[in-house]
Structure 1
Amino acid sequence: MEFPWAAEDVPFVDTKQMIEVDRAMIEDFHIELIQMMENAGRNLAHLARHRFLDGDPRGKTVIVLAGTGGNGGGALVAARRLHNYGATVQVFLTKPDEAFTPVPGHQLDILRRMNLPIGFVADLEKPVVSGVEAAVSADLILDGIIGYSLQGAPRGAATELIRWANQQNAPILALDAPSGVGTTSGTVFTPAIQATATMTLALPKAGLLANGVAAQVGELYLADISVPPDLYSEPALQLNVGQLFAQSDIIRLK
């Protein structure tokens, strides 16, 4: 399946503007975070299925790397959907369940109730994770470690998950931005995910077009999370955004 290329010029936003988009979605339009997260995760699973899993995830193995915030929550939604599609899915977290913010924590609780195998960095070196053999030869790795909230170089378990992912032969699909890349400046911190493709959300982040980030971003896609176009024209943003997703919930930018 080929995803359509953007039919018009697409504005890029910095981190401050994206924070304003999220605020307006929730406070002004009453479109809640859990709705946006479901849209992000559904589209991530859809892109994974058709770009990397030959249109049929059955019999394929997907490793999902998830942080504790919204980026991780979107990846956990994708994990649930890919499992439902028939993929063998294993999830590795940066921190224990209690460290997750409420909405991503809700997504994690769902996966626990579905009995998906969930582990941590140390489990990547073990032969068995929750009764399922650790698949270091995965067909696809989803990067949901750090989103636009990145402040400085990744730390702790996030660094270990990033380094592990970059050492694998499997393609990496990053959600919103490759973990370790500044979404406003385009700074490539050490370490940073080297993605085969990145699916960014709502509007592309300015840092993804910066010089020197192409090796981290890979192919660049944009996915709909149901932001009303009128939201962008409000005084805090003053952006002219049309019906970007008229033909598809996912469009290609580069």
Structure 2
Amino acid sequence: MATVISVEQARQLDQKTIEEVGIPSLVLMERAALAIYDNLLADERFNLKRVLVLVGTGNNGGDALAVARLLHTHGFAVSLLLVGKTEHRSPQMTKQLEICEYYQIPEVPLTVDFSQYSTIVDGLFGSGLSRQVAGDFAQVIQRANASGSSIHAIDIPSGLNGDSGQPLGATIQAISTTTVAYVKTGMVQPGAARFTGTILVADIGIYLNDRYEE
């Protein structure tokens, strides 16, 4: 059975890997993106003919942008939907966006018709979400769920509390989730499976006790 950790443990492990081990955040992001990209390709439930990537302002959004770039550079039609205020963007998310702009990956407005996409990649919120989802984020999540598209979530479905497994308002209903390093406690709570779908673990080099445990 996969090792399960709390949101706080995940934050501490991430910080330790970056600051003590010395693996830069962008390197971890690239590793996560490669795992997510591979998982999308390996799952026949995902038709990658037209992909919409939902991008939040934090590092989860940075992961999503890296996935979008991998899809684009491998010939898939992918579009970006950026959600949230520009001033809230993390440095890593901003850097990944600059790379996507270099590759001229198209951005679409909030009013875009979600139903035209065969697959949606959810990169709005990471596991640290603790507030109710509102505003544009809530609307985007609701429209994604209603689109009929197959949804893959990055780390944890946006809107799901990483510790309790309770939805914080509008919550992504994914058919699969690639969680980073370890499964989060909330993902295995009763009722969480209808949001997470199949859970896949991406080994990106973040370990308990300096080694991978499962």
TM-score normalised per structure 1: 0.79
Secondary structure class of the residue paired with 2:51: strand
Equivalent residue pairs, number: 214
Structure with higher helix content:
2
Check conservation: 2:45, 2:150, Cα contact below 8 A.
no
1:182-232 Cα deviation digits (max 9, x unpaired) = 0111111221001111110101001000011111011111111122x4xx1
Q: What displacement does 1:53 show? A: 7.0
2:118 maps to 1:139: yes
Aligned 1:189-228 pairs, distance under 5 A: 189-227=168-206
Could you tell me which runs of 5 or more consecutive residues in structure 1 were left unpaired when the two chains were aligned: 1-8, 126-134, 235-239, 245-254
CA distance in 1, matches of 2:172, 2:107: 21
CA distance in 1, matches of 2:27, 2:200: 20
1:127-167 Cα deviation digits (max 9, x unpaired) = xxxxxxxx632121000000112112212221111011001
Check conservation: 1:172, 1:195, Cα contact below 8 A.
yes
Secondary structure class of the residue paired with 2:115: coil
CA distance in 1, matches of 2:16, 2:24: 10
Check conservation: 1:175, 1:199, Cα contact below 8 A.
yes
Aligned 1:21-170 pairs, distance under 5 A: 21-52=13-44, 57=48, 60-122=49-111, 124-125=112-113, 136-170=115-149
Give identity over the alignment, percent: 30
1:67-89 Cα deviation digits (max 9, x unpaired) = 01011110110000001111100
CA distance in 1, matches of 2:4, 2:45: 29
Letter in 2 for 1:179: S
After the TM superposition, which parts of structure 1 deviate over 4 Å for at least 4 consecutive aligned residues? none
Check conservation: 2:156, 2:179, Cα contact below 8 A.
yes
Q: What displacement does 1:44 show? A: 1.0
Cα-Cα RMSD: 1.9
Check conservation: 1:147, 1:175, Cα contact below 8 A.
yes
Check conservation: 1:180, 1:193, Cα contact below 8 A.
yes
Q: What displacement does 1:101 show? A: 1.0
Letter in 2 for 1:72: G
Secondary structure class of the residue paired with 1:28: helix
- Higher Rg: 1
Letter in 2 for 1:176: D
Check conservation: 1:67, 1:145, Cα contact below 8 A.
yes
Check conservation: 2:65, 2:97, Cα contact below 8 A.
yes
CA distance in 2, matches of 1:187, 1:50: 29
Letter in 2 for 1:155: A
CA distance in 2, matches of 1:210, 1:96: 32
CA distance in 1, matches of 2:44, 2:136: 26
Secondary structure class of the residue paired with 1:121: coil
Partner of 1:248: none
CA distance in 2, matches of 1:37, 1:69: 12
TM-score normalised per structure 2: 0.93
Check conservation: 1:199, 1:222, Cα contact below 8 A.
yes
